[in-house]
Chain A
Amino acid sequence: MIELPKGRSLLKDGLRRLLKRKLATVCLVVIAAYFLLAGFIYLAEFFDWQIGPTLWQEQAGESYAPPSSKNIFGTDIFGQSVLRKTLYGAKISITVALCASLVSIAIGVPLGAIGGYFRGFIDEIIVWLYSTLSSIPYILLILAFAVVLRERSILGHKLTGITAVYLAIGLTSWVGICRLIRGEVIKHKDRDYVLAAVSYGCSRRRIIFRHLLPNVFHIVIIDFSLRFVAFIHAEVILSFLGLGEANRPSWGAMINDARMELSRGVWWQMAAATAAIFIISLALNIFGDALRDSLDPKLRTV
């Protein structure tokens, strides 16, 4: 009996190629560290652990103390440790970016798949929907949604700071992924494996969600590894414009504080927030590129 070599799935193969790249692996570790930090802060808040980031409200020194061995990044106007605030900001940023991604995937992927598979009238409606949204400049659209959603209550839930932010980002950002998935489904729907599924008598729902989507899902991963950066930066801008989280430290709010502080020579709050954003953005940018190269070399940076 001939022994066949064991096949690898697209994802496994891509992952293997990805881990061969040292730089990409390092970036993955950095990203994982940010996520772990955010998750850890959630846990600490839930169990009420008294550790650094959850104690950000505590006074750690005098007002505007410059960086020293006691407070590595100095203190802000209330004497709160900038390091703690920066760490806590990771929770807000990661939460916003993650929830915004989930919202836009939940809208964009099914719509794209349905439009691409059924074509016809339903497709035209979906195309019209995303053409309309994409004809409004992105930042303006997010702002419009954020202004309206803020302080509004949906189903009895009041939309506070970050909920409004990630809903605004999520509800406006599904266009890109919807377009990509739709194009890819159109390419795939006449392939043999789909025809085979049809001839077996699979329901259309099963074909779309069990056969087509797994075969095009790597696009979602690639797209969102790069889009995540844009979400983090959008959160910063929204917080800066006063549409974000008001009562807890976030990187955008820290940069907003720094606007007044810089002229007094207080640069550490600004530097800490910038560094925190810079490191995760850099890691995500490099990792996203590497991911795209190893999962789908044909896709280009657009």
Chain B
Amino acid sequence: MTTYIIRRLLYTIPIVLGVLLLTFVLFTVAGGDISLEIAGKGATQQTIDEIRQGYGLNKPLFFSWDSQFVNHFKNALTFDFGRARDREPVIDKIKRGVGPSLALTVPIFLGVVIISVGLSLIVAFVRGTVWDVLAVVICVAGMSVPYLSFILFGQYFLAYKWGLFPVFFSPDLSMARNVALPVLIGIAAGLGGNLRFYRTVMLDEMQNDYVRTAFAKGLTTRRVLFKHVLKNAMIPIITRVVLAIPFLFLGSLLLERFFGISGLGYLMVEAIGARDYFVIGAMTYVSAILFVVFNLITDICYVLIDPRVCLE
């Protein structure tokens, strides 16, 4: 087990380096010199030089121990992302945004997983009936509505028109009340695709002999579904669930923007508007690291859950 984990950890090194190479090529080589943009119109050569000095843009790109290329790797590996356009260290911005983002995305995630796994068992059980067809139709229809429409119509009707929820984030209200509507919208938008995925998984399981055996020996439907089938369907569920966790830290770009929740999604939208490569690059890198780590956790989970999986 330990050797397996170590080997997997070694395997992540080229991936992390690859991500760093990509952000370097994108934001430093292709992105170009941003000192003119930061300085604004009519800046003197001296100001521009100072900005270039401050961001290290006057150093050579490659081929030196103090080149931008080397520094990019050095800084990223020590999680020192420099300062954003407004002079605040990027890492502070990210740390500040994680809390609100998680407060929004974790309830959405839990809601979607629990509801769709539960429903998928029931739908798979009544497969072929009208209810099954109806569920699939609703799922496909839900998947076809653009995410933005869910948000806009949800915000308009539930908050603005009927006044059930606050329209916009306000610090006076409790966090739970503030995120209630975005969470509801997030769950509604995510349910279609997930339910359909889990239904396919459950249908595969239902065809196995052990299900027939379990029914034959007189177990109740509930026991067969939630004890036997659910346990065996765990591998695809775990894969999907664990690999979704890193995305939770990113927050939701659109939901946060619409409801004024100052999480990481909002930070990203602001950074795009300001063409702040430092923030975008740092977010890309951090999320990639999280993804790689959770990928590793998924593989370890397989072993813990399914004794047939061997570590090769």
Chain A residues within 8 Å of B, Cβ to Cβ? 128-129, 131-133, 135-137, 139-141, 143-145, 147-149, 152, 229, 233, 236-237, 240-243, 251-252, 255, 258-259, 262-263, 267, 270, 273-274, 277-278, 281-282, 285-286, 289, 300-302
Answer yes or no: B253 CB below 8 A from chain A CBs: yes
Is B112 at the interface (CB under 8 A from chain A)? no
* B272 lies within 8 A of A139 (CB): no
B15 touches A144 (CB 8 A): no
21 pairs from A and B in contact (CB 8 Å cutoff): A129-B18, A131-B18, A132-B19, A135-B292, A136-B288, A140-B287, A145-B26, A148-B26, A148-B30, A237-B148, A237-B253, A251-B146, A263-B156, A267-B156, A270-B149, A274-B149, A277-B146, A281-B144, A286-B140, A300-B200, A302-B197
Q: How far is the CA of A273 from the CA of B148 in the complex (A)?
A: 11
A285:B148 contact, CB within 8 angstroms: no
Cβ–Cβ contact B268 & A143, under 8 A:
yes
Assess A137 versus B291: contact at CB under 8 Å? Given A131-B18, A144-B26: yes
Q: Is the CB of B15 within 8 A of A128?
A: yes
A143 to B291, CA, bound (A): 18
Q: Looking at the assembled complex, report how far the CB atom of A213 sits from the nearest CB atom of chain B, in whole angstroms.
A: 27
Q: Which residues of B contact A240 (CB under 8 A)?
A: 148, 254
Best-surrounded residue of A132, A229, A263 (most CB of chain B within 10 A)? A132
Interface centre among B22, B160, B273 (most CB of A within 10 A): B22
- Shortest C-beta distance, A197 to chain B (Å), equals 32
- B30 touching A301, Cβ below 8 Å: no
Q: A252 — nearest CB in chain B belongs to which residue?
A: B148
B57 within 8 Å of A by Cβ? Answer: no
Q: Which residue of chain A has the shortest Cβ distance to B269 in the bound complex?
A: A241
B residues contacting A by CB (< 8 A) are 14-15, 18-19, 21-23, 26-27, 30-32, 140-141, 143-149, 152-153, 155-156, 160, 196-197, 200, 204, 246-247, 250, 253-254, 258, 268-269, 272-273, 275, 277, 280-281, 283-284, 287-288, 291-292, 295
Q: Is the CB of B147 within 8 A of A148?
A: no
Residues of A within 8 A of B295 (CB): 135
- Also in contact, A233 and B272, with CB within 8 A (given A282-B140, A286-B140): no
Q: Shortest CB–CB separation between residue B258 and chain A, in angstroms?
A: 8
C-alpha spacing A132/B18, complex, angstroms? 6
A136 to chain B, nearest CB (A): 5
Report the nearest B residue to A149, measured CB to CB: B30
Provide the residues of chain A in CB contact with B196, threshold 8 Å.
Answer: 301
Is B152 a contact of A255 with CB atoms below 8 Å? Answer: yes
